[in-house]
Structure 1
Amino acid sequence: MAQDSWPSPAHNGRAVTDTEYEKIAARFSGDGVYGEPGDSAVVTAGTGLSVNLRANVYASVRGHAWTSGTSTVNLPVTANSSGSTRVDRVVLRLDRADWTVRAVVKAGAPGGGAPALTQNTGDTGVYEVPLANVNLVSGANSVTVSRNELYVGVRIRPCTSTTRNPNPAPGEMCFETNTGRIRVWDGDGWVGLFDDSGVIGVNSPLSAWTIGTESVLQKRNGNVHLRLGSFQRAAGTLAGGDESRLPVLIPAAYRHPTRDQYAMAYTTGVEISRVQIYSAASDRPGQVWLVNHPSIAKGDYVLPGSGISWVVD
């Protein structure tokens, strides 16, 4: 099939079919009601076996606009004499048989919970989005309604870390498929909203120290959280005035750009020591050093505190 585009004078005399319209319009707006959960419920219990849709509600289903109109819409609910409670759904349904969107009550199976949504995405069939659940006890002459509106949300642009929009607008968001990060443009730069590195081991063996417990970090939502492990002195006695590098190295992507970090540690004999984690801007980038401590003999332990964190995004 040759390339095509529409609407265009070269395409069917600028005529666009319903199917062709859906192909482009389904991406113009997310499915659901225009509004937010703090608004009044779209669906409430009506008189007897019925539900009411409030007036002046607007929504979109696969790019097709819908409104409830200027007055309350009443929808009947079929009776239930099955002996089990039945859960129905009120849905907005796009029916491609006539290309209309209507609110309908979709009956569930007694005792079986709310019925599944039908969401056909081809050229035929129906596509449904939820508005509410309707609970109907067997033999009851009234219903109870629980809210379940799907609201139209804000679009997030997919990209990679190297293909973000070069001319973003303030508030624009993107999802980097290669990193799993969500970012927002604040007018000056891309700010991290969500990311999760998973647990990363940061041991960096040195002959002067034996590693007892692994050192690990995890970056989440722009913050690095470090748990330093435990270390035993393997070389000779470390004098109290001497600094010593510990067997840990923070990877470049997780170093604070300008500020060193500090942590407390216990050493054998219940002594207090100080650990320094160097920033990317230092002459020891990413290295971890024991900088203030008592004399530490061969075989003595250094047990740093955990829960050190800093911001990188």
Structure 2
Amino acid sequence: MAEFSAPFDGSSITTELQWSRMARRWGSDGAHTEDPSSTVLKVTGSGTTNVTVAPGGAFVNGFYYYLDTTKTLAVPTNSGGAARVDLVVLRADQAANSVTAVYKTGGTTVPPLTQVEDGVWEIPLAQCTVAAGSAVVTAANVVDKRYLTGRGVVPSVSGARPPSVKNTLLVEGTDLYVGDGASWQYIGGQSVKEGQYTPVWTAGGSNISWGSGSINFGRYQSRLKRVDLTIQLQPTGNPAASTDPIYVSLPPGLPAASAHRSLFTWAFTSGNGEGSAVGVAIVFPTISTSQIVALRYPVANGNTSTAIPNSYSLFTNTPFNIRSGDVLTIDGSYWLA
């Protein structure tokens, strides 16, 4: 086993391969631009027997390339009987000690890139199609194939952001932005990929026991300021009757917004011959932002157009005697505080 490290006094980088292996970690292969509409190293055909490569810089297998003026490349005549598909590539050649823009002919399909770590390494700039018996490439026959490489993620201090850079990410605290060239657009923030918790059910300030071995779980996902939540309850026991409505806790550390109510749908199915019902579960922030404090269901005060509708809260024993065999599900989303 051999170990290598550099650069140190007495342990220098002595080969191009050593340099390539180190330098390629500094930046990915590609033209140096964050903007696909940029002309950096863009290939153009103009209906002649040449194509042109615009000025610009790039990384190729850890080696730096820069073209300071437009380069013209000749298009070989297609002597075959079918259209030929070619490439314009940047070719790093460690034997030649150079990176150059090269026109590479193919066949009826695009030619493969040569990518040998310690030899020739190519990356594409454009794909060109040449008609049979021709050496002419028009603008319509050129397809942009450039790899692009730009800056890494830009850290920022609140109130002191750098100018926006197109297609560049900026991190400010736990918030993520992308640049459009004019401003930084917010795209994300701190989130929870997926989580589960054990909901706490209460009535009148006392915990409700649903029985040993009952199924009682909450599953949630937090994205930006929005939380998706499903609560599933399947009792194995029969809790005591209560004169207070059922409350159930939201995921810990993710309180609901206090500026407005949050609504969920709940569904109950009895396994004891008491039917089923659906209703709305509500977070009343004036009561609590960490709990659902009402599971309401509609009731009728009459069957005329002047009758005022109403709703009642779900209790452990009203309108159903919730017990083993029943299923109660709450599902929806809410805004974070």
Q: Give the SS at the match of 1:52.
A: strand
1-side partners of 2:125 and 2:73: how far apart? 13
CA distances 1:229-283 after superposition (whole Å, capped 9, x unpaired): 58799747966x623255x873x5xx415757732335678674434499xxx8x
Q: Which of 56, 79, 84 is the equivalent residue of 1:86?
A: 84
The alignment covers a number of residue pairs equal to 269
Match of 2:245 among 243, 246, 250: 243
Counterpart for residue 163 of structure 1: none
Contact 2:199–2:231 (CA under 8 A) maintained in structure 1: no
Q: Does 2:99 align with 1:101?
A: yes
SS at match of 2:149: coil
Pick which of 211-220 and 28-37 moved more: 211-220
RMSD after superposition: 4.5
Q: Is the 8 A contact 2:29 2:148 kept in 1?
A: yes
1:53 equivalent in structure 2: 53
Shift of 1:58: 1.8
1:100, distance to aligned residue in structure 2 (A): 0.5
Once the two structures are superposed, the pairs formed by residues 174-189 of structure 1 within 5 Å of their partners are: 185-186=171-172, 189=173
Counterparts in 2 of 1:22 and 1:194: CA distance versus 1, 3 Å = farther
2:132 pairs with 1:138: yes
Secondary structure in structure 1 of the residue aligned to 2:148: coil
Match of 2:71 among 73, 76, 79: 73
Cα shift readout 1:142-168 (whole Å, capped 9, x = no counterpart): 3310112212222359xxxxxxxxxx7
AA aligned to 1:73 is K
- The corresponding residue for 1:116 is 112
Q: Is the 8 A contact 2:129 2:142 kept in 1?
A: yes
Residues 95-114 of structure 1: CA deviation (Å, up to 9, x unaligned): 1112200111233331x3x3
Residues 184 and 58 (structure 1 numbering): CA distance in 2 closer, same or farther, change over 3 Å? closer
Percent of aligned positions that are identical: 22
Q: Is the 8 A contact 2:266 2:329 kept in 1?
A: yes
Q: How does 1:1-313 map to 2 (within 5 A)?
A: 1=2, 4-6=5-7, 8=9, 10-11=10-11, 16-35=14-33, 36-40=35-39, 42-54=42-54, 56-70=55-69, 72-110=70-108, 112=109, 114-121=110-117, 124-143=118-137, 144-155=141-152, 170=157, 185-186=171-172, 189-191=173-175, 193=188, 207=210, 216-220=219-223, 223-228=226-231, 235=238, 242-245=244-247, 250=251, 252=252, 255-256=253-254, 259=257, 262-265=262-265, 272-276=279-283, 290=294, 293-294=313-314, 295-298=318-321, 304-306=330-332, 308-311=333-336
Cα distance in 2 for partners of 1:140, 1:243 equals 84
The one-character-per-residue Cα deviations of 1:47-92 (angstroms, maximum 9, x if unpaired) are 43431112x322222342222332x312123333444443222111
Distance 2:60 2:91 in 1: 8
8 Å contact kept, 1:132–1:146: yes
Counterparts in 2 of 1:185 and 1:85: CA distance versus 1, 3 Å = same
Q: 1:267 to 1:226 in 2, by over 3 A?
A: closer
- Secondary structure class of the residue paired with 1:24: helix
Gaps in structure 2 of 5+ consecutive residues: 159-168, 177-187, 201-208, 269-275, 297-312
- CA contact 1:7–1:16 (8 Å) conserved in 2: no
Residues 190 and 201 of structure 1: CA distance in aligned 2, closer, same or farther (over 3 Å): closer
Task: Report deviation, 1:120.
Answer: 2.5
